[in-house]
Each structure stands twice: as C-alpha cells, then as structure tokens.
Amino acid sequence: MHRRLGNEHNLLNINDLIDEAKCYQIVRDLRWPDGVVRCPHCDSTHVISYGSDERQKHRQKYHCKDCPCYFDDLTKTIFKGHHQPLKSWILCLYFMGLNLSNQQIGQELDLHKDVVQRMTRQLRQGIVCRKPEVRLDGEVEFDELYVVAGHKGHRSAVLKKGRPGRRNRLKGARGRGTLEKEKPPIFGMIQRGGEVVIQMLENVKQQTIMPLIQATVVPGTQVYTDEYNIYNPLTDAGYFHKTVCHSRGEYARDEDGDGFHEVHVNTMEGFWSLLRSWLRLHRGISQEKLPIYLGFFEFVHNAKKRGKKLLASLLQLLLT
C-alpha cells in the first residue's frame, strides 16, 4: 500500500493536486493498491464499472454483483458526500500538513473560513481516530507542559509558555494547571530517537498518568523524568527510573561516568518547543478542541515527513 504513493513521485506532485482526475486516481490507488476494485460493503471483487458521477465526472461508479449494490470511488471514505471537489479536500489536507491556519487555507482555496473550519475539523478528527497506537521502549522521557486554553466560545486561549514555577510545581502545590483553571496539562512521553505520545489531562496526578504510562511504555524501559513526585511509582511499576534535579539547577547528568550526560528530559523539552510553535498559529484553541490538535501533531511528528510525503502518509491513513 505504501509503495505506490511512496515511490511514484509523479503521483504526488503539487500540480497533480489541482487536477481533479489525478486526485481521484490517488484515492483509487490508495483504496485498491493492487488495482482491483473491491466492494466496500461485502469486499467482493466481482465488481463492474458503472459509468461516472453526473456532477463529478472523474468520480467512477461501480456495481457489485454479489451484494448487489452500487458504490463509487468515495463511498465509505471521509471524502464522501461533500460539496467541495475532492481536490479541495486533498489540498486542504496538504496545507494542514504544512500547518497553515484555517484563514490561510481559506485564502489559498478561495473558501470561506467557516467552510474551511468544518473541513479541517473533519480531517483532523479522521486522522486522530485512525492513527495507530504507539508503544514506546528503549530510553523514554516523560514531562508535562501547561498551556492556556479556555472553554469553547472564549477566544482568550492563546498558547503561552505556560509551565508554572518549578518550585511550586515540584512540591505539588496549588498553582499547577488543571482543566478547571483553564490551564490544561499536556502529558508527554517520548522515546529517544523514536516516537512521541502526548495527551491533554484533567490534572497531573499519579492516578491519572500511571494508566497512560502503562498502556504506552513497555515494562522494563529506562525512563527519565524530573524529580516531580508524580513519578515516584515508576520503579514499583516495573520501570528503570532516573530523575534529573531541575530544582538544583541540573539539566543533564552523567550518572555512569561514561562522558554522556544521559539523565535529562531535553528531548521532551525540544518537542515542547516544536509543539508550541505548531499551535501558536491556531489562535484560540479551546480545551474542547485541543486534544484533536495534539493528536494531529503527534501523528505528523511521528510520521517524520514533510510536505507531499507527509500528505501521502495522511491520505494513506484516511483511506486504507
């Protein structure tokens, strides 16, 4: 499934994306990579062509001899049943991968920003629902980030470098972010040289983060955190745990004396700055929408691709 879009560069030239016929071909190639059209209802290959859609002439229709039913290139996909041409949807996804705002996408596609907002919401949601579960092992860092995000309808939610003062945070004192305080915490786990998992939480308590850690990180993994007390149960839970003492001004420590300062959470900190600049563009993300933005960025980051290669991964996830 990967190979067609991955290797045939001509399939994802930006010029092709403004070609409606080519967009339909891309969808067909992803849905039916061996070129054999399958019925989306019964999976039969006993399918004949049935002309094309009256209004969208590149949209092929089919008849399944087994169900028997009628379907087309977009039946049961995220792109079915929309007024916008397929190329607008695919271009929209391409621009989302480049992190354009709804307003910028609207300008590029000549669409009202409310229309774009509906499209990006649906695409983002589609990616987040389908993204594969991530498992982490090797060396993994945990950290939390606090962002400012209000409730739906309140436009005050511009992202700030929201991490509260370390001293309070480390004592677990009030002043840490919670959902109610409109400072939702984002919990992050990143494998060095590997993938990341981020999730918005109601609060940062041991009972909130431990199930998430255990569902994501393979037992026996070496984990690094700062000395915040929520991480105390990690050793009992079967992880090798080392902490960096930020409160003592320490940012990395060479514990085993081999010249590498391996005890740090700098990978996670680096990821947070990428996340902050990604989100900064989207002004006023509410708490209700933040998880979807986070999930989308998590997928983009883990795909480790940009531009049209990223688009290929996004389309593949949506269509296969």
User: By the criterion CB under 5 A, which residues form the site for Zn ion?
Assistant: 39, 41-42, 44, 64, 66-67
- By beta-carbon proximity to Zn ion, the closer residue of 37 and 314 is 37
147 neighbors 162 (Cβ within 8 angstroms): yes
What tokens appear for 278 in the block?
A: 């990604």
Distance of closest approach, residue 35 Cβ to Zn ion, in angstroms:
18
CA distance 235 to 244: 15
- By beta-carbon proximity to Zn ion, the closer residue of 62 and 142 is 62
The residue count for the chain:
320
- By beta-carbon proximity to Zn ion, the closer residue of 69 and 170 is 69
Distance of closest approach, residue 19 Cβ to Zn ion, in angstroms:
30
Distance of closest approach, residue 49 Cβ to Zn ion, in angstroms:
14
Distance of closest approach, residue 37 Cβ to Zn ion, in angstroms:
11
Distance of closest approach, residue 224 Cβ to Zn ion, in angstroms:
52
What tokens appear for 317 in the block?
A: 């996830």
Distance of closest approach, residue 70 Cβ to Zn ion, in angstroms:
10
Distance of closest approach, residue 316 Cβ to Zn ion, in angstroms:
24
210: left (phi over 0), alpha (psi -120 to 50) or beta: alpha
CA distance 152 to 251: 37
Q: Within 13 Å of residue 199, how many CA atoms lie on the same side as its CB?
A: 17
- By beta-carbon proximity to Zn ion, the closer residue of 76 and 151 is 76
- By beta-carbon proximity to Zn ion, the closer residue of 45 and 235 is 45
- By beta-carbon proximity to Zn ion, the closer residue of 62 and 297 is 62
- By beta-carbon proximity to Zn ion, the closer residue of 38 and 113 is 38
